[in-house]
Structure 1
Amino acid sequence: MPVTDISADADTLTVNITADFAAPRERVWKVFTDPRQLERFWGPPGWPATFTGFDFAPGGLAQYHMTSPNGEVSRGRWEFLSIDEPRSFEVLDGFADEDGDLTGEFEPMRMVFAFEETPTGTRLNGQTYFTSADSLEQMVQMGMVEGTRLAMGQLDTVLQDLRDYAAGKGTQLEVLDDRHVRITRVIDGPRDLVWRAHHEPDLIRQWMLGPDGWRMTDCEISDRHYRNAWAPESGTEGEPFGFEGDILYSEPQRRTVMTERMAGTDGPETMNDLQLYEEDGATLLTMLIEYPDAATRDAILATGMIDGMEDSYARLERVLIVS
């Protein structure tokens, strides 16, 4: 995780962040000033950003929105106040309406991003300035500090070439807190095929087969619901099982959010937020999973879930992409 310090200071009415990156300053500058790269981390897990405008010049505007797992939208905009490439830039950040105008609900915040070369790469020193103690307190209560920490924690994958990032790593697990984990896997294939492999039953049946000695017996998916089931082959021990849930939000080729529970039961239920990003013919698959509590998280992870996911993703590459 690149963040080394983030804190709110009531005396100076600021939120301050320090983050260190093992990458040259020009590379770090690029991810903060290219809207397609900004989208990959500007917004905490579960609230990814989409930039719809980006006029990177003094007086220019950047417009963006963040979308929750349930499809709720929070809009914002930056007004660029000054730019000193590649050392720093300054913006006025505020909540916006559908037309991109400031809502007036909260006072805009002045944000300064400064990038300093270090012996190991680059240090970001960021300050957000508030106009009053009340506005600072409001944003802290809304989760700004922890949200910023989680957002910046996504930068490692953005700074690296996807193929370099993925080399030899397979399916990776990060425990974010008691209720959330992030799973990442780079699939050596295009995003449209990876998307279809998660949404078309004929393709799902080719790779999501379960453990060795098991077969997929049921695969149903609609705009609102899905159900998958497996059973052991003859000679394999075990009882048939399945998963089902509701599709809460879908943005084709990019994101699907769905609930998941054991079929035929009342829970426990998780919320799975699948996001896809393509670079140079490879697709980064990110799955943010929300559990009801830490005990449920630990019990599910202890089943060997990650190893099973790696087997399935390796089969996806082998069966659908290489062939």
Structure 2
Amino acid sequence: MINKRFALLLIVVLAVMTFTNSVGAKGNLKIVAAHNQTSPENPYQIGLLSFKKVVEELSAGSIQVDVHAGTLGTSEAELVEKLKLRAADVVLVSPGFMTKTGIGEIQLFALPYLFDSYEHWETVVDGKVGEEMARIVNEKSYNDFKLIGYWSAGVRHYYGKKPIQSMADLDGMKIRTQTSGVVANFWKKTGAIPTAVAWGELYQALQQNVVDAAENAYPYFVQQNHHKTSNGKYITETGHDYTTRFLLINGHKFDSLTKEQQNIILTAARECVITERAELYRQEKAYKKLAIDEGAFVNEIDREPFIELAKPLQDEAAEEIGVKDLLNQIRNLK
């Protein structure tokens, strides 16, 4: 009798454990989402909080999203590695860091003067070119990365110790930017000297003449007070890069989800794209005004000589990475 009772109790316990594990797997799914910016005001943070809100609302709380603002790493290369190893599920990265994964085609979106307006950029990334790039990322990463949205980090401009009136003003200037690849080659051809400085050290580098200038979008360098340094207060709107950022999910993780969970993730991705872009566009205007109010000087420049300088570099890079057709499509959409 004791053995029968024990056997019955064991069956009940196993049944409860099976049910609990099932609910835990399907009812309490956790998604770790991360970006490399530490400011709570950054559009990245606002975008991922939107992703979290939509996912948790549509799943009635059965999917939880933990958002990490720089706490999983301030290096995009580190975030890419963590995504690949499943230490993170969703990350935001730039084309420059994604090229280190061996997917050369994504360098296309980092070419200087590829886009001439946000309207042009949105037409490209939200259309057939964007769809093809997403397919390439998924296929060439062997499903480690699934591209689920295109975000923007703004339009990048020069800022430095003096305003640029012509390309000649860049001659011999040390500018903090990428030090290899097409971006570096572009700045070298302007006469500037690309110089490596970590983002977290750039304020001090500008203040202490380690570099003469840098380049970035208003929300990013103004939030870091670069415009208040002696080598950052002159802003020339070169508009050389309408930036693209990739919202990625681990493809294996995505494929392990139920169809309903996948649809929730994709819906949230679409919604957070809208939220992040709207916030970025708003902040571009707000932080430009703030920079001026706080003593920065802003001037415009004839971009045509810079655009003409960039074209052969675009052609050469597109040929090398096998995206000449995509480059032509982008140009034809202007």
- The answer to whether TM tops 0.5 is no
Q: TM-score range by the shorter chain?
A: under 0.3
Instruction: State TM-score, norm by structure 2.
Output: 0.26
Q: Which structure dedicates a bigger proportion of its chain to strand?
A: 1
Q: TM-score normalised to the size of structure 1?
A: 0.27
Instruction: Please say which structure displays the higher CA radius of gyration.
Output: 2
**Which of 1 and 2 has higher RCO (CA within 8 Å, sep 6+)?**
2
